[in-house]
Each structure stands twice: as C-alpha cells, then as structure tokens.
Structure 1
Amino acid sequence: MAIKEFKLPDVGEGVAEGELVTWHVSPGDTVTEDQVVAEVETDKALVDVPSPYDGTVSELRAEEGEMVPVGNVIITFEVEGEEDEAGASEAEPDVESEAAETTAESETAAETTAESEAAETTAESETETPSGRVFASPSVRRLARELGVDIASVSGSGPSGRVTESDVRAADSGGDDADADDDGPRNVSFSGNSAVSKSGDAGNGKTAGAASAEAAGRARTLAAPATRRLADEEGVNIDDVPATEQRDGEAFVTAAAVQQYAEQQRQAQEADAQALSEEAGAGEAETSADDGAPMAGERVPYRGVRRAIGEQMQRSKYTAPHVTHHDEVDVTELVELREELKPLAEEQGVKLTYMPFVMKAVVAALKEFPFMNSQLDEENEEIVLRDEYNVGVATATDVGLMVPVVHGADGMGLLDLSRDMNEKVEKARDRKISREEMQGGTFTITNIGGIGGEYATPIINYPEVGILALGSIKEKPQVVDGDIVPRKMLTLSLSFDHRIVDGAVGARFTNKVEEYLSNPKLLMLE
C-alpha cells in the first residue's frame, strides 16, 4: 500500500487558484479512477476534479470554501500495490487483477491443465503493455474485456493518452481481437467474469478444453439427458456452459458445470439489479436535495465568479470613460423574416433567435467603423484596430454574468452563428464553458429585452471599446407615409469608450446597425 498525493491541476490558462466548493468523498471512501472527488470554482467556471487512481481516500488537505493555489496538494490516496515512482511497476497491479478476474471462473469451474495454460496465456498477453501503465477507467476496461480487446494494444485518444470507450470500440471493429480467426462478426457478452462468445468457435481449431475457459457458444455439446434437463430448468443455453471434460474430441458438460454457470448468471443479474436500484436512489436523492440557495439575513461570500465579475466591472468603469447612445429601430420586417426562417432552421435542428441577425448587423457595421472594433494599448500608446470579428454574447447564469465569444463571426451564416452561440450559451449556463471560449472578444452584445427592459447603460467588457444592449421588441404606433400604423420597434443602447470613440462615430455606428435591422435582406449580402 502506497500513499499518493494529488495536486490541484491547472484548470485553465492563467488560473492561479481555485475555490474548493464541494468534496464528494470523505477519508476512508473507496474511489475509482476518473470518479469525481471534488468541485473547484475558478473565476469563470465550475470544474469537476476526477481521481487519477483506484484506491482509498486517505486525507483531505483542503476545506470547502478554501482558496487553493494551483499545485497545492488537496487530497491523498492509499493505492494498493502502487509504488511511489512512476514506471512499469504501476502496470503490474492492474495486470494481476485483470488476469485474476479473467481466469477466476475458469479456475473455479475445473482445474484442468488446458485451462491453466489458457489463463497463463491471458496473463502474459495483458502483461505486455508497451508503454507501462494503461490509462483507462474501469468501465472502459470492462468494455474491452466484453469485446475481447487487449486494452494494452489500444492507442488512447483521450487526455494524456487515456483509452476511451470509442478507442476500444474502434479497435474491436478494426479486427484487433487476437482470438478471432475468421472474418465473421464476433459478439461477446458477459456472465460473471467469463466472456461468452455468441458466434461459433467450433471451426477455429480450438480444443474443448481450451474452449472451457472462455465459454464459447458451441455448435455442438455432449451432455447426459439429465444434464440437458437441468439446463432447461435453470434457463441456460447448454452450449454456453464451460465444458469441463472432453469425450471423442467433443466438449462434454456435466451437471455440476450447469449448476455453477446458472448460479453465476443469477449473481450477475442480481448485481445489475442492485446497481440500477442504487443509481435510481441516487437520482431521487439528488432531485429532492435542497438547492442551498441563500436566505434573507445570510452573509454570502464575495469570491469566485461573482468577485471576478465585480473586479472586471470596476476596472472597466474606472478605466474607460463611458458614454451611452440610445435609439430605436423599426424591425417589423426582421420579425417577419425570422418567422419565415424559423421552421427551416428547426428542420436542421437549430433554434433561430433574433441574436444572430443582430450579430451579422453588428459585424457589418464594425467593418465600416473599425474604431468600434479596437482596443487601447496604453503601454505603447497605440489604438489597435482589430482585423478579427469575435462577438461576445452576455449571458445571465445562476452565478452571474458570463460572456461566451463567437470567434470569426464574420465568416459565418445565420445558422452557423446560431449553432455556435446556442452551444456556448448553454455551456455557460451549465458552468461547463472553458476560459478559451470566453476570451478574445472584440465587441459584446447584451440582451436586456428578455426580462422586459427597453433602455440600459451597459458597462463595456474591457478592453473592448463598445457594447450594444438590446431592449424588448414592442408594438408601437409609428407614422408611415402619413398614416399612424402599428410597427415592431426595438430599442438600442450603445456604450463606448470615449477615449477612442467620439459621440458622432457612436451614433453613426448605431445608425448603420439600424439600417441592417430595418431591412434585414441586406444581411443576406454579408
């Protein structure tokens, strides 16, 4: 037994520390590799921290609510058979465990010479791991055994070379199963710890003794009438029962082997039923749990995402002199066009909102007014006119405002903008968005109309120089060709950095956005 320390990893570029929000384990708990042991909150996201080991929790080195620097040890594990130094020795416990598991049933069923040789062959094949330890979760290892895939020979495509479920399935479909001697499909199921092949192995040249170790679904099985009757009563296929004897070159199954096989089937079914029951109970407990929302009179810590938002707002407000320009635009034709396109977008699995239309209008206007798509390099005393159009969409989440960024918005059509934006907004609300997906913005749009507002004075997402707030679309009386008619009207509020953008430029930029929104067919040319 060895003690393994686990340090808080670098959970995002530029992150120096994180708040340990929740522990999901306690000292003495048994954990498996990739099991989530804690949640850590950075200044932009909530991150799950998985266990790198199979073992037992030894000690928790940080308290919930504590700010932990990256690289500090937060938890230690007791890992059986592991050595402190990384190397080939780390592979040995897994190999021995898997070999013992794979051969356990065959050794219990009958201790024949042929079965022992088969078990030794299995152990040797799993020991030959080309790169030392195989990094894979228990569920992936189980899948590999079910499919008859040697996990040591599979190239991992996951982080740090980790073998994923898709890697195992790809290896299986690619014919990596060393036991398959024909070109036909090989379907494998599990009974206890023994792989049970559902395609006939009778024609592959294997002896009945060797086949007894893998319970191959044979085309022909010898058994006494009483044994066959027992198999029928137990509800098992006698061709799936491991053969313990061989007569006249054919596999011979005894009544004892049938009983043992049936018992193993029952145990496996009971284990599956218990696992399903536990999962259902956990789901109910999670559903009924209190959400932990703060109550009146409580003191809420000012840290994590909320503190990061506050610091950014303060920096922006006290660095860039804000000016806000307000206006109103007739979007009746835009409303009609969106209603026309919505069913077409839904056919392609896209929810089409007004935001992609506004994003295209903003990008078109930014190209004509490049100072609105710039930032101030104060150190070098230069205004940097950006040649990329990365539009941020301010999103309200349960922990505060986040701004996912649609990169390269100028090269996207309406549906592509919708897909990218919808995906990132959803990830932000689920707190699964990465820092990279919220960086690099050149202009931001925020929608206050979703909660009923019309005008606002939004704070610039510094170091950008402009942010556009959208109000709610309301039907209002307007004079058109001398007549008073109802029209769909949208309010706009543009805040900009007055060090770089003059009031006249801000007004003209807003007018250009209005031109595209009032005549949305012009957007088709962009």
Structure 2
Amino acid sequence: VCIHRVRSCSGIRFIKSKYVCVFDKSALKFSHQQRLLRTSAVSCGQIVQFKLSDIGEGITEVTVKEWYVKEGDSVSQFDSICEVQSDKASVTITSRYDGIIRKLHYNLDEIAYVGKPLVDIEIDASKGVAPEEDVVETPPMSHEEHTHQEIKGHKTLATPAVRRLAMENNIKLSEVVGTGKDNRILKEDILNYLAKQTGAILPPSPKAEIIPPLPKSETVPAAPKDRARKIPVPVSRPIAFSGKDKTEPITGFHKAMVKTMSAALKIPHFGYCDEIDLTQLVQLREELKPLAQIRGVKLSFMPFFIKAASLGLLQYPILNASLDESCQNVTYKASHNIGVAMDTEQGLIVPNVKNVQVCSVFEIASELNRLQSLGSAGQLGTNDLSGGTFTLSNIGTIGGTYAKPVILPPEVAIGALGKIQVLPRFNGKGEVFKAQIMNVSWSADHRIIDGATMARFSNLWKSYLENPASMLLDLK
C-alpha cells in the first residue's frame, strides 16, 4: 500500500485484499521546502527510493558501468552500490542506508538521470524513518549526501574510523592513494594527504623503505638492454571477422572529447614549432633522480617542462587567459593550473597540476605521480580534471616529433612535446657533438595571441630548459 499526502480529511481507510491500514492526518508531514520520496510499507521494513544526486559540473546524466550489488543483497552505509561514468569522470555511488536492495532501476550501459531513482532499498523502519511518514530527502549535494559520493573506479577499502576522519576533514577518499593491503586506505594515508593540503610536514612512515639506487658503474651495462626493451613490439591479436557492422553509442570520456573538440573547431589556431637542446637537462635529471627516489617520487622530464612553462606564463600572462563566448572580454587567470594529457584505457584525459606558480619541481613531480596513479586506475576526480588554464601534451612518449595540438576551450594555448632524440649538432666552434633534441609544437588562439608573443614565450621556455640553472634566478 503506497502512502500519499493527505489534506482534505482527518482520517482515511484503505482496504485492499486482506490488508487494512488506517492513517491519521497528524501522522502525515508536508513541507514546501523539501522534496519527498514515496515509500512502501511492507511487513519486514520500509522501501526507500535512493535517487542519483547532483554530481556537479553541470552533469545531468551518466552511464551505469558496473553494479556492485544485486537484488536481495544486504548493504551498509558507505558500501559501494554502482559505478557510473559521466563525460568528465567515473563516479562510485555509495549507500546512505543499511538495508536490502530490492530493485535496480537500470541495466548496465543504460543512461541514469540525476534526480531519478537509482535503487530501492528496504530499511528497518525502527532504525530509519517512521513506517507511516513520507521520507524527506534534502536538496541534492548537501554536505551529508556529498560525503557518500566518491569519484573513483572501484570500491574503496577503508575502516569506518578512517572514513569518519576523512569526512571530518572534508576529504574525498577517491583522491587518496591507499598504501595498505589491496590498496586499503589507512589512517596514515589520510594524515599524509591532509598534511600535503595544509603544508604540514609529517615524519616518513617506517613501512616505506626506499632502496638507494645502484652506483652508475653497476647500472651502465644494463643500459643497452633497457634501450632494447623500449623498442615497440607489435602485439599479435587474433583477427575476428564477424561480417556485420557494429554501432555503439558514444559515452564517457569519448563523449566529452566530442563536445570539447567541436567547440575547439571554432577557434582559429596559430601554430609555431621549434627544437630544444635538452643535453644539460638530461644530465641534471640523472643527478637528481636518486634524490627523488629516496623521497619516494619518480622524477621525469615533465616537471621541468611544466615549471618552465609556468615561469614563461608569468612573463606572458595572455597565454594563461580565457576568452568569453562573445569575444568581448579576456580573463587573466591568477593560478597556473597546467594540464597534462594522459592516454588511458578510458580514453584521453587531461588532469592538471594546480597552482604550479607556487610549486617546486619536486612538488610538481609528486603531484604528477599521484595523477598518473589515479589515472591508470580510473580514479581521477572531477577536481583533478577541471580548472585547467594551460596544457602540455607529451605525445613523444608514444612516438613522433611534431604534432598539431588542438586547444582545449576555454584555454587559449597548448603545447605538444615530441620524443627526445640523440642527433648531431654543431657547437660554437663548428665542431659536431651529440645532442639530446626534442621538438615542440605550439598552438595558440589567434584571436587574442599573435605570432610574436607565441615565439617569445617559446624562446623563454626554451632558454630555461637548455640552461636549467637559469631557472633558479626566477624560482619563487
């Protein structure tokens, strides 16, 4: 028997089959300020329709990628119910109630809409809401509901005490990398994440033992093997010929790419290319890699590229700006949130390193490690994927020297980095020497950026990388 709101009479009697339910007007509560869910009174509990809440970023629909429960399963608070994917990120929805799953409203790969029922959960009426009252759901994305939604790709392993600590400090578990067994998030992981956000320094965990790198003399013989291992080997896969064309909907990150690239076509692109001699930077990185390893951070070339770009943006802030849709106003961004294009199994994603202008090279490297780890696991959150102001695409890790990068609106510039090659070059005396050469390809919005500005920025960025010591003069 379904409960309905009643205004006109003091008592109502429903008679159906063998069940008789009597309601009194005073037992029914009505509020214009809140939304109400219909519930069904059953012999063993109360059915609550759990709705998909607002995920943010203007998302109105998502695709159901995986169910972690089935009808008849028991769930507790914080248990993962399902994974959904928007055009921006993967989201794992967790339960707000203790109860039993009675109905799944969607099948896999179906579109679920924000504000519509996701599952029906049977709860204990004595522990939950009264059996003869409407269940009141607060407006979407309230603080309580927000803490039960986590952006990630699979069920998070953490104790209730750890979850409570994360909630009290407004930390999303999806942004914390667990160091426990099976990637379980420990109390130390939350404290370390909190310390990073607040700038506090915590003592290193005794569990993480860093093995110092071997002397160069011992690692030199292995270099030819390492180089041989980097040669791409064709993957042989059995060719299956079905004889039929297949049509499938565009969803998830591919759907986001369609929207972004369609908007990018409206931008008149200006291209500029150059080559960079990274010989000194290659030597410097080799010297710093052992120090970074001792700190537990993998040091690549990308942190240097990003920091050099940020120093260049300080001199040419128009490259770190955005243009409104009417092309009447330019907004100069205070933060240098530099995006890094990543190729993942889910497709192309571009997380960004926040506030590069106040970060050291080591801090950038540490943040890149975190983003790469989350990206590989499909756990990047919306915060990691939004707010970018400038982008670098390291296409050279796959191959190629030059590219024609496409600007990601509302940004106005992007750079594509080619692979590093050992090539002969001439020095000032006319002598041939072995140089580490990388090509860079820039694209800029020609509506507000002219060729001279792009060239000057590229020259400054190039000078920082060809003479890494010169960056020390401008570091803050």
Query: What TM-score results when the alignment is normalised by the length of structure 2?
Result: 0.66
Q: Shift of residue 158 of structure 1?
A: 7.2
Q: Which residue of 2 aligns with 1:320?
A: 267
- Structure 1 457/334 Cα, relative in aligned 2: closer, same or farther at 3 Å? same
- Structure 1 322/156 Cα, relative in aligned 2: closer, same or farther at 3 Å? closer
Q: Shift of residue 440 of structure 1?
A: 1.8
Match of 1:512 among 457, 460, 464: 460
1:380-395 to structure 2, matched below 5 A, reads 381-395=328-342
Q: Find out whether 1:28 has 2:39 as its counterpart.
A: no
1:58 alignment partner, SS class: strand
Deviation readout 1:420-475 (Å, 9 max, x if unpaired): 12212322232222212222221101101101111100101111110011111100
1:273-292 to structure 2, matched below 5 A, reads none
Deviation readout 1:349-403 (Å, 9 max, x if unpaired): 1111001111111111111222212111243712222232111111111111111
- Structure 1 15/2 Cα, relative in aligned 2: closer, same or farther at 3 Å? same
Match of 2:406 among 449, 459, 464: 459
Q: Find out whether 1:494 has 2:442 as its counterpart.
A: yes
Q: Find out whether 1:360 has 2:307 as its counterpart.
A: yes
Q: Which residue of 2 aligns with 1:468?
A: 415
Equivalent residue letter for 2:121: F
Deviation readout 1:37-83 (Å, 9 max, x if unpaired): 21111112111112222222111112222222211101101223447
Distance 2:392 2:312 in 1: 13
Q: Find out whether 1:54 has 2:98 as its counterpart.
A: yes
Equivalent residue letter for 1:312: T
The answer to whether the 8 Å contact 1:12/1:434 transfers is no
Distance 1:20 1:138 in 2: 21
Distance 2:130 2:354 in 1: 41
Distance 1:489 1:138 in 2: 45
Distance 2:290 2:167 in 1: 41
The answer to whether the 8 Å contact 1:390/1:442 transfers is yes
Match of 2:254 among 286, 303, 306: 306
Q: How many residues matched?
A: 342
Q: Which residue of 1 aligns with 2:118?
A: 74
Equivalent residue letter for 2:372: V
The answer to whether the 8 Å contact 1:342/1:352 transfers is yes
The answer to whether the 8 Å contact 2:82/2:92 transfers is yes
Q: Find out whether 1:445 has 2:456 as its counterpart.
A: no
Distance 1:155 1:468 in 2: 37
- Structure 1 37/505 Cα, relative in aligned 2: closer, same or farther at 3 Å? same
Q: Which residue of 1 aligns with 2:469?
A: 521
Q: Which residue of 1 aligns with 2:143?
A: none
Distance 1:5 1:350 in 2: 45
Distance 1:452 1:436 in 2: 30
Q: Shift of residue 490 of structure 1?
A: 0.7
Equivalent residue letter for 1:63: N
Distance 1:66 1:472 in 2: 41
The answer to whether the 8 Å contact 1:8/1:71 transfers is yes
Q: Which residue of 1 aligns with 2:62?
A: 18
Q: Shift of residue 24 of structure 1?
A: 2.3
Q: Shift of residue 300 of structure 1?
A: 3.5
Q: Which residue of 1 aligns with 2:381?
A: 434
Equivalent residue letter for 1:513: W
Q: Which residue of 2 aligns with 1:483?
A: 431
The answer to whether the 8 Å contact 2:415/2:441 transfers is yes
Distance 1:26 1:353 in 2: 44
- Structure 1 55/384 Cα, relative in aligned 2: closer, same or farther at 3 Å? closer
Equivalent residue letter for 1:487: A
Distance 2:373 2:398 in 1: 18
Which range moved further: 350-359 or 54-63? 54-63
The answer to whether the 8 Å contact 1:4/1:84 transfers is no
Equivalent residue letter for 1:22: E
Q: Rg bigger for which structure?
A: 1
Distance 2:397 2:353 in 1: 20
Structure 2, unaligned stretches of length 5 or more? Answer: 1-44, 134-147, 149-155, 174-184, 192-239
Which range moved further: 73-82 or 508-517? 73-82
Distance 1:496 1:165 in 2: 44
% identical aligned pairs: 35
Q: Find out whether 1:407 has 2:348 as its counterpart.
A: no
The answer to whether the 8 Å contact 1:3/1:77 transfers is yes
Q: Find out whether 1:331 has 2:284 as its counterpart.
A: no
Q: Shift of residue 295 of structure 1?
A: 9.2
Distance 1:156 1:447 in 2: 36
Q: Shift of residue 165 of structure 1?
A: 8.8
The answer to whether the 8 Å contact 2:90/2:381 transfers is no
2:300 alignment partner, SS class: coil
Equivalent residue letter for 1:349: G
1:471 alignment partner, SS class: strand
Which one has the bigger helix percentage?
1
Distance 1:349 1:67 in 2: 41
1:13-412 to structure 2, matched below 5 A, reads 13-82=57-126, 85=129, 157=168, 298-316=246-264, 318-379=265-326, 381-412=328-359
Q: Which residue of 1 aligns with 2:367?
A: 420
Which range moved further: 30-39 or 494-503? 30-39
Q: Shift of residue 31 of structure 1?
A: 2.5
Query: What TM-score results when the alignment is normalised by the length of structure 1?
Result: 0.60
2:168 alignment partner, SS class: coil
The answer to whether the 8 Å contact 1:3/1:84 transfers is no
2:419 alignment partner, SS class: coil
- Structure 1 17/354 Cα, relative in aligned 2: closer, same or farther at 3 Å? same
- Structure 1 139/78 Cα, relative in aligned 2: closer, same or farther at 3 Å? farther
Distance 2:356 2:305 in 1: 11
Q: Shift of residue 84 of structure 1?
A: 6.4
